[in-house]
Amino acid sequence: MVILVDCNNFYVSCERVFQPRLMGVPVIVLSNNDGCVVSRSEEAKALGIKMGSPFHEYESLCRHGNVHVCSSNYELYADMSARVVSVLRSMAAELEIYSIDECFLSVPGGQDWQVLGRQIRDKVLSWTGIPVSVGVAPSKTLAKVAVNFAKRLGVSVWSDYDSDRVLKTIKVAALWGIGTRLASQLRRRGIHTAYDLQSASGAWLKRAFNVNIQRLHLELHGQSCLPLELISPSRRSMGRSRSFPRLIRDLDDLEGALVSNVSMLAASLRDHHLQASCFSVLLTGVLETESREVLVLPGSPSLSQLRSAGAASGYIQDRSTQYQVRERFGRFWVSTSKVLRLPYPTHVTHDIVLSLRPVLKALYRSGYAYRKSGVMALDLSSVQQVPLFGESSQRPAWTRLMRTVDQINARFGPRSVALARQFQTHRPWQRVAQRSSPAYTTSWGQLLRI
């Protein structure tokens, strides 16, 4: 049997663990730069606050409705997630971490599933303070359906329900793994509900769509076709990006954001014992001067066509830099990227910064206001792999230095030791988190005081 454990309103629950006064109070958690709502308590949902909505739409309601607002604290949430996982590992030999707030467990049959589900809920709540819902079913897909009922009941076992009756109430678009485009294709073939998909011919589904839909069809029949991923698949890429709280026009400020992104990315590479020989710099922004001379690439709609006809997207070239351009809210939003391949793989922070600085300068153009920047590490390899040609930066001295920096930052907090650029007082790229809670579990200086 497959058990899905889903943490209830996870980000809000993490905040409540260390602030019990928030129990029973409407609480919401905001995204980066306090932009959108990414987590809501049940009390906040009852007030009509929608997931993903811009916060400014609810500012008045939050002030007058006594809604507690939190900035996102991903360091706290990641640590609390790890604690939940450690509890679950003590109760199941096989476990797949599906997301920061969901885990699949595989448990042998012949048990009282309601009792086991309550034991899981009680132990996780007692050891971590996080409330969870538990769905039990013979397949992953049905466990995802069952856990939706568990949001209300606490524990939901699929065999306790009339499966046909339940599946008739579930729209096909709500099924796990069904996206908007695929749902539209299924509806055109007369498949509107999960029951319709279950009742269709598996062979026809494979011919009309693909083998993945056939597997989903079998999963709805209770046949497990999606085994647990007990070992995380090898990473092919890794990235860090940052949306700015306000538009940035200065190259020097963009370089500051680059250093910040690279520092986080390099630390993550080292944490996963990886290195990369290929990196990509990404920029997103607004074309502020529409009269500037830009070349519209062949086959692409012009800027005037994008504005008047509402075309999906186009491409322009400004000197040597090519941009994808979209018209949104009366402005032209542009995005571009450039890839650099190094002669050797590295995870040393300043190596990557020095290599990518010229790339950023090549992408930068005046007349654009930038909203977001990012760095991707591609062509990842294990640190044990030594390059056949070229000098590797993984010299013992650099390896020891980076290890020491990571150990100091782990003990005393992020950026205790960092590149000098990260300590400048003017940091317009720094995310806005005016309502962020302390790092209760990962910083000695921010431990909860009673």
Query: pLDDT digits over 332-376, tens only?
Result: 788 889 999 998 889 999 889 999 999 999 888 887 889 899 999
Check which CATH number belongs to the domain holding 93 and give it: 3.30.70.270
* pLDDT, average across residues 227-250: 81
pLDDT grade for 313, boundaries at 50, 70 and 90: low
Indicate if 345 and 216 belong to the same structural domain.
no
391 within some domain: yes
Q: Which two tokens stand for residue 338?
A: 């450039």
Q: What is the rounded average pLDDT for all residues in the chain?
A: 84
Q: Residue 71: beta bridge partners?
A: 30, 436
Indicate if 45 and 72 belong to the same structural domain.
yes
pLDDT at 116 over 90: yes
Percent of the chain at pLDDT exceeding 70 = 87
338 within some domain: yes
Q: How far apart are CA 311 and CA 303, in angstroms?
A: 10
Indicate if 120 and 170 belong to the same structural domain.
no
243 within some domain: yes
Who's near 425: CB < 8 A, 6+ residues apart?
none
Check which CATH number belongs to the domain holding 411 and give it: 3.30.1490.100
Q: What is the dihedral of CA 407, 340, 396, 275, to 10 degrees?
A: 60
Closest CA to 377 of 392, 355, 397: 355
pLDDT grade for 291, boundaries at 50, 70 and 90: very low
Q: How far apart are CA 146 and CA 4, in angstroms?
A: 9
303 within some domain: no
The strand ranges marked E within 221-270 are 237-248
Identity of the residue numbered 53? S
Indicate if 349 and 262 belong to the same structural domain.
yes
DSSP letters spanning 45-89: HHTTPPTT-BGGGTHHHHHHTT-EEEE--HHHHHHHHHHHHHHHH
66 within some domain: yes
Identity of the residue numbered 402? M
Lowest mean pLDDT among 118-127, 180-189, 321-330: 321-330
Task: Give the end of a domain, one of 221, 245, 263.
Answer: 221
CB 263 within 8 A of CB 354: no
Using CB atoms within 10 Å of the CB of residue 123, give its burial: 0 to 12 exposed, 13 to 18 middle, 19+ buried.
middle
pLDDT grade for 290, boundaries at 50, 70 and 90: low
Indicate if 244 and 383 belong to the same structural domain.
yes
Who's near 299: CB < 8 A, 6+ residues apart?
none
Q: How far apart are CA 122 and CA 104, in angstroms?
A: 17
226 within some domain: no
**198: domain range?**
162-221
Indicate if 244 and 214 belong to the same structural domain.
no
Who's near 217: CB < 8 A, 6+ residues apart?
197, 198, 200, 202, 205
Identity of the residue numbered 266? A
Helix (H) / strand (E) containing 344: strand 331-346
Helix axes 113-128, 74-89, angle to 10 degrees: 140
Total number of domains constituting the chain: 3
Choice between 328 and 193, residue whose per-residue pLDDT is larger: 193
Helix (H) / strand (E) containing 308: helix 303-309
Indicate if 282 and 376 belong to the same structural domain.
yes
Closest CA to 14 of 41, 50, 48: 41
Which ranges of 364-415 would DSSP assign to H, the alpha helix?
396-412
Q: Which two tokens stand for residue 344?
A: 């050797």
Q: Residue 36: beta bridge partners?
A: 54
Please, what is the Cα angle at 260 between 258 and 261, to 5 degrees? 65
Indicate if 214 and 241 belong to the same structural domain.
no
Indicate if 27 and 124 belong to the same structural domain.
yes
Task: Give the end of a domain, one of 141, 174, 208.
Answer: 141
Identity of the residue numbered 185? Q
pLDDT at 111 over 60: yes
Indicate if 332 and 263 belong to the same structural domain.
yes
Choice between 260 and 228, residue whose per-residue pLDDT is larger: 260
397 within some domain: yes
Question: Residue 344 — left, alpha, or beta (φ > 0 → left; ψ -120 to 50 → alpha)?
Answer: beta
Please, what is the Cα angle at 426 between 422 and 429, to 5 degrees? 70
* pLDDT, average across residues 246-266: 91
Residue 202 CA, distance from chain mean position: 33
36 within some domain: yes
Please, what is the Cα angle at 141 between 137 and 143, to 5 degrees? 35
435-444 burial: b if 16+ Cβ within 10 Å, else e: ebbebbbbee
Indicate if 359 and 249 belong to the same structural domain.
yes
Task: Compute φ and ψ for 137, nearest 5 degrees.
Answer: -160, 165
Identity of the residue numbered 280? S
The model's pTM is 0.77
pLDDT grade for 64, boundaries at 50, 70 and 90: confident
Q: How many CA atoms lie within 13 A of 357 on its CB side?
A: 12
Predicted local distance difference test score (pLDDT) of residue 298: 55
Indicate if 132 and 189 belong to the same structural domain.
no
Check which CATH number belongs to the domain holding 217 and give it: 1.10.150.20
Predicted local distance difference test score (pLDDT) of residue 38: 93
Q: How many CB atoms sit inside 10 A of residue 401's CB?
A: 15
